[in-house]
Structure 1
Amino acid sequence: MFAAVLLAGCGVSQSKPDNKPAETVAANAVSMFTLKKDVFSASLRIPGELVAYQQVDLYAKVNSFVKKLYVDVGSNVSAGQLLATMEAPEMNAQLAGAESRLRSQEAVYLASKANYDRLYQTSQTPGTVSQNDLDLAFAKQQSDYAQQEAAKAAYREIADTRNYLEIRAPFDGVISTRNVSAGAYVGPSGKGSEFPLFSLQQQRKLRLVVAVPEAYTAYLAGEKAISFTVRSMPGRAFNGTINRLSGALDSRLRSQRIEMDVQNNDKTLLPGMVAEVNIPLNNKDSVFVVPTTAVVSSTEKVFVVRLKNGTAEWVNVRRGRDAEGKTEIFGDLEAGDILVERANDEIRNGSKITQKK
């Protein structure tokens, strides 16, 4: 009885079952948008180099001495203009000798021709000249004629070589380098002088050369307008057009060389300048374009978060171009899918989400 009283005094009683329902996890409310395709426009900013449209190093063709220079660094020249004259006294002696041999051979040929003509006329009278004598005279005439032509060729060769003593401009341009002075001994590259006499550049028209990375080559096209700036004139924009694409990738740089022609009549731009080039990269086909914040780049994958049956689904994607807060994506997606606008890896795959109102 004491134990029963003690239990009653302590207020010990049997617990009743809890009929309250279990607590549910609230869905995370996030901003979402509907996925759709669009034409993505972007641009590539990349350095390029301005080079002369034409450039040539002028060497002396024959071993000689510089007699006179008619231009200097910075001189504007026209095609065919005389730039320098050389002198080689031994060449004059060679030309005189070749001329003497030619005159001698001409005299021999005229004599043999006259002899053949005389014998031929005489042979018209039967029995006066044997056929053998006539054939020998004809052969002598032909041999002397060949010797005369050989002497002419030798003379022309030396005469043409003497013309190389005059250095002329092959095209309109500017003398950018002069490496010799009057009296210097010059000759073909590696024989007379190590450096060229002059370097000539065409500067009224320049080439803008750019190496475009492989990832962007699919967006290139000829006749596309571009713009660029140079460091010396940061506030001024210049224009050009893509004129030539190499059509192949450089095996070292994995890039494609493109060239743009730039008119430079006022010579504001100089060969060798580095340009900051802006190349439009317009895609002809529609692609999925999303806000850049919708793409999550983790250490393992790149993905977007799609709403599926009230839960978050991570969908692996490949990132394309970025421009102005927009990004191209490629993956197992369809137009009309609902994606999270500001995604992150804290929105776990399979967690409940709802669209923020």
Structure 2
Amino acid sequence: MTNNAAQKNSNGRTGVQDPAAVNRNHSETPESKGSRMRYVVILMVLLVVVAILVITGIVPRLRASRALAAETNALAAPTVLVIQPKPGAPSQEIVLPGNIEAFVDSPIFARTNGYLKRWYFDIGSHVKQGQLLAEIESPEIDHELSQALADLGTAQANEHLSEITANRFSDLIKQDAVSQQDTDNAVNDLAARRTAVKSAQANVDRLRQLVAFEKVFAPFDGVVTARNTDIGQLIDSGAAGGQARSLFQMAAINRLRVFISVPQIYSQAATPGLTADLMFAEFPGRRFPGKLVRTSRAIDPVSRTLNVEVDVDNTKGELFPGAYAEVHLKLKDGLRSTLVVPVSALLFRREGLRIAVAKGDNTAELLPITLGRDFGDVAEVTTGLTGEERVITNPPDSIIDGEQLNVQVENQQATKAAGRAGGK
């Protein structure tokens, strides 16, 4: 029983083999087995070919996709040019604009009212101190002076009479011929008469001074730069509350003042006694020597500059007040070496002056700086840079910290030229 059960298969049949199956197994020949192997080999070859085709198509596509993405990112980043700032040569000279002013420049007013009778000098005339410039006709003052002289004469006559009377009473009182009261009255009357004479004399002196003011004299040696009146014009001295107007404008030009604004960074080196050379467009190639005589000793809080006066000799009268000059101020001590960058690299932001630099990972960084001299195309940077930075010469207005950049190195000839400019 046990052996019969073990010989049964899963479908309930006994372990006796099927004759048809036995016949099929015996019918598989070596040729059929070889054919099956060929099919397997062909299938494997096809699979390998397909795999190669897939790999050779996908990998380049992935590479191309990555390259396209990198190119897209590169195109999205702004392209900037960078240079390394070069040090400018230390200099003992700074060049600043200057305004020329006369050593003395003064309007000439009338001191009395009247009409202009005559003028003697026109614009451009050289005059000496005390020379008569103009005459004013004042008939009212002349008449007042005549009356004052007459009043003075009357006062003097009364004084003389009072003096005689007082002396007489003084002699008579010694003889008890007059009373003490009458004598005192005579003496007091003399004192009053003398006071009246002094008052009349003061009035005469005042009117004589006004008459003297009818002649206008030059207060100093100089040149008449303006004439604001003419013959017959009404002259108002402003004494009665009117609006006075100057008759002439005079300037002393034998020596001129030149005012320049020295940047704060050089203020400690700008001391009295320094020499300066002045250059003018109308005198190409010529230098006029000057000397720094004084400073304001205060920094202007708006411009951050020190007001400095340079005096220059103008005995020949070649230079004119009001002109513009290029002042080459020679400082006492040599200036420290500074860095020079193109002015196109400067960024004027709300928070202050900035320069954009490209860091090692080609991202932007904005650095605060302090400017020194301005040479036009290039400018000095006194603080904020070490000289190792890659300064962006064409920063976009919208550039920000950390922005990715496409960095290109600019032609270094521009930097070399900047360095030469800084060493002028």
TM-score (norm 2): 0.60
Aligned equivalent of 1:219, options 266, 269, 272: 269
Task: Report the number of matched residues.
Answer: 311
Superposition deviation, residue 270 in structure 1: 0.5
Distance in 2 (alpha carbons) for counterparts of 1:121 and 1:153: 33
User: Could you tell me which residue of structure 1 aligns to residue 234 of structure 2?
Assistant: 185
User: Could you tell me which residue of structure 2 aligns to residue 89 of structure 1?
Assistant: 139
Identity %: 26
Aligned equivalent of 1:118, options 165, 168, 180: 168
Aligned equivalent of 2:187, options 119, 130, 138: 138
**Change beyond 3 A, Cα 1:148–1:252:** farther
**Change beyond 3 A, Cα 1:62–1:251:** farther
Which one is further off, 129-138 or 273-282? Answer: 129-138
* Matched-pair contact (CA < 8 Å) for 1:76–1:174: yes
User: Could you tell me which residue of structure 2 aligns to residue 107 of structure 1?
Assistant: 157
- Secondary structure of the equivalent of 1:269? coil
1:1-357 counterparts in 2 under 5 A? 41-125=91-175, 127-188=176-237, 195-283=245-333, 289=337
- The structure in which a higher percent of residues are helix is 2
* Matched-pair contact (CA < 8 Å) for 1:292–1:322: no
Provide the aligned C-alpha RMSD in A.
Answer: 4.4
Code of the residue aligned with 2:140 in structure 1: it is: E
Which one is further off, 183-192 or 57-66? Answer: 183-192
Superposition deviation, residue 95 in structure 1: 0.4
* Matched-pair contact (CA < 8 Å) for 1:185–1:193: no
Superposition deviation, residue 248 in structure 1: 2.1
TM-score (norm 1): 0.70
Code of the residue aligned with 1:78 in structure 2: it is: K
- Secondary structure of the equivalent of 1:278? strand
**Structure 2 unaligned spans of 5+:** 1-88, 348-353, 356-366, 393-424
Deviations 1:56-107 (A, max 9, x none): 1112211111111111111111110011111111111100110011110111
Superposition deviation, residue 213 in structure 1: 2.8
**Change beyond 3 A, Cα 1:298–1:61:** closer
Distance in 2 (alpha carbons) for counterparts of 1:75 and 1:173: 8
**Change beyond 3 A, Cα 1:194–1:231:** farther
* Matched-pair contact (CA < 8 Å) for 2:109–2:244: no
* Matched-pair contact (CA < 8 Å) for 1:41–1:282: no
Distance in 1 (alpha carbons) for counterparts of 2:272 and 2:329: 12
Distance in 2 (alpha carbons) for counterparts of 1:194 and 1:144: 39
- Secondary structure of the equivalent of 2:265? helix
Deviations 1:230-273 (A, max 9, x none): 12112211110011212223354443221121111111111111
**Change beyond 3 A, Cα 1:281–1:136:** same
Code of the residue aligned with 2:92 in structure 1: it is: A
Superposition deviation, residue 280 in structure 1: 2.3
**Change beyond 3 A, Cα 1:255–1:188:** farther
Code of the residue aligned with 2:142 in structure 1: it is: N
**Change beyond 3 A, Cα 1:222–1:133:** same
* Matched-pair contact (CA < 8 Å) for 1:61–1:164: yes
- Secondary structure of the equivalent of 2:267? helix
Distance in 2 (alpha carbons) for counterparts of 1:207 and 1:42: 22
Code of the residue aligned with 1:248 in structure 2: it is: A
**Change beyond 3 A, Cα 1:62–1:194:** closer
Code of the residue aligned with 1:196 in structure 2: it is: S
Superposition deviation, residue 214 in structure 1: 2.6
**Change beyond 3 A, Cα 1:93–1:47:** same
**Structure 1 unaligned spans of 5+:** 1-38, 303-315, 334-338, 346-357
**Change beyond 3 A, Cα 1:252–1:146:** farther
